[in-house]
Structure 1
């Protein structure tokens, strides 16, 4: 039976010399490209180990190649992670394009979105959300999508949905309604788009309150977009709406969108383009 050290000796790989490599004055093998050693001596207190006085070492070329491979692998893992977050976080694939990079620069509130992303840790710690309110087509949903995409790029999980879809899901879930709502509350950030557009039935209002109240009790931030005015939110028509609106105003800082209607402008541009094509 061979001594244990002989087996261990076999496990120490030998350095593979390339044709351009050479032996330096110190007796070590050097890389012929970067002129740095491919070997290193063991420390003085271990002059030899398993019959050898040296061990393989990375030259500058090998180190650069390793770091490049590791960076590429890290980037691949990052892309996969972001892709998975966006797949689970958005209810509409078009929302993936709602990014700061695609912004036309005409929304005066976009700086508010940048601020939220840049100060995300403070927003999360303080349970601070936004209530984006204003007229139809002023860019509220797009701004919320920019926040969602930017945070997902930081590998932060976000869910952007609306109450029409939530109520449909709850109606189809005969069991596990509480679990469904709990899942919404697990996201570090929840974005509810087009709030107030859902049907105001007694059942619907109760479920809306359950979702918002559960989010409130989770201590996690919420962003809401709505076409309702701040006056309407501050002066609810009845008790069920008052319960909901009070929670929202407590959780979310109001941000007014009073700019031009981008959807109407886009529709007019398409009409003008069509007229030009017809004239041509």
Structure 2
């Protein structure tokens, strides 16, 4: 039986010559476009092994074309990954538009949201979350969505949902309840929107506590948005709410969203446009 290396010369292709290519003074084939070698010599101690003295090499323009193809493929894979993360991470497709790029620049807490993304590794390591609280329409959900979108663009998995959706899912999957909650806790970042707006039944409160407590024990960061004030969170009406609120306030650093009521502004703008149309 012949040693495998005896057939190596048959497996090494020769460099492909184009009409404009030429042979240089060193005996190698050169690209006629970029004037760089399309061949390279084997080291002297390898010539006998491979049965020839040279092998194909990338010229500068071939290398540039390869890198361009690889970059395009990487970009395609990145877009596909981000698309999948957003499909799984958002309960409402409209949340995809809640980005820093679409910000109108009028929310004073936006720099706090940017800070969270810029220091994500520290936030994750320290298990630090945000409690975005304030009046209705002050942009709390939008801030949380900006954080979620920015992290997903970095291919970091985020889940942004609310307890109304969570409770509906739990009711529909009684036997798989533990696995459902475990799945929520596997996300590097979990965002619970409109906290405190869910049904206050005994069953509902128990499930809310299970989700919050499981997230707490997972030692992963949590972001919560709520219309509840800090005073309401610190002075719950009963024991069931207290054990939930205590967990949230321990996990999440309070950020007061005190901007104008953007929803009311939009409603006023629509009213003014309607008046103008009617007058016209």
Instruction: Please indicate, yes or no, whether the TM-score normalized by the shorter chain is above 0.5.
Output: yes
Which residue of 2 is the match for residue 227 of structure 1? 227
Secondary structure at 2:160's aligned position in 1?
Answer: strand
Unaligned 5+ segments in structure 1 are none
Measured in 1, the distance between the counterparts of 2:11 and 2:256 equals 68
Name 1:275's counterpart in structure 2. Answer: 275
Q: Distance in 2 between matches of 1:106 and 1:253?
A: 22
Determine the C-alpha separation between the residues in 2 that align with 1:262 and 1:182. Answer: 36
Which residue is 1:85 aligned to? 85
| SS of the residue 1:47 aligns to | helix
Alignment check: 8 A CA contact 2:162 2:194 kept: yes
Post-superposition Cα deviations, 1:217-242, rounded to whole Å, max 9, x if no partner, equal 00000000000001000111110000
Quote the Cα distance in structure 2 between the aligned partners of 1:166 and 1:122. Answer: 28
Give the match for residue 257 of structure 1: 257
Question: How far apart are the structure 1 equivalents of 2:267 and 2:3?
Answer: 84
CA contact (8 A) 2:133 2:229 kept: yes
Note the alpha carbon deviations across 1:56-88, whole angstroms, 9 max, x for none: 000000100111111111111000000000000
Please state whether the residue corresponding to 2:248 is helix, strand or coil.
Answer: helix
Map Cα deviations across residues 99-156 of structure 1 (whole Å, 9 max, x no partner).
0000000000000000000000000011000000000000000000000000000000
Deviation at 1:251, TM superposition (A): 0.2
Counterpart position of 1:68 = 68
Quick check: 1:124–1:188 contact (8 Å CA) kept in 2?
Answer: yes
Q: Distance in 2 between matches of 1:20 and 1:234?
A: 79
Instruction: Report matched runs for 1:1-280 at 5 Å.
Output: 4-5=4-5, 7-280=7-280
Q: CA RMSD in A?
A: 1.2
Provide Cα deviations, 1:178-222, integer angstroms capped at 9, x if missing partner. 111001000000000000111100110010000000000000000
Contact 2:137–2:262 (Cα < 8 Å) also in 1 = yes
1:20 CA drift (Å): 0.5
Q: Extract unaligned runs of 5+ from structure 2.
A: none
Distance in 1 (alpha carbons) for counterparts of 2:205 and 2:4: 75
CA distance in 2, matches of 1:239, 1:2: 82
Distance apart, 1:47 and its partner CA: 3.4
Pairwise CA distance, 1:278:
2.1
Deviation digits for residues 23-58 of structure 1 (CA, Å, limit 9, x no counterpart): 000000000000000000011222344321100000
1:105 partner SS: coil
- Alpha-carbon shift at residue 257 of structure 1 (Å): 1.1
CA distance in 1, matches of 2:82, 2:3: 52
Normalised TM-score (structure 1): 0.97
CA distance in 1, matches of 2:10, 2:177: 61
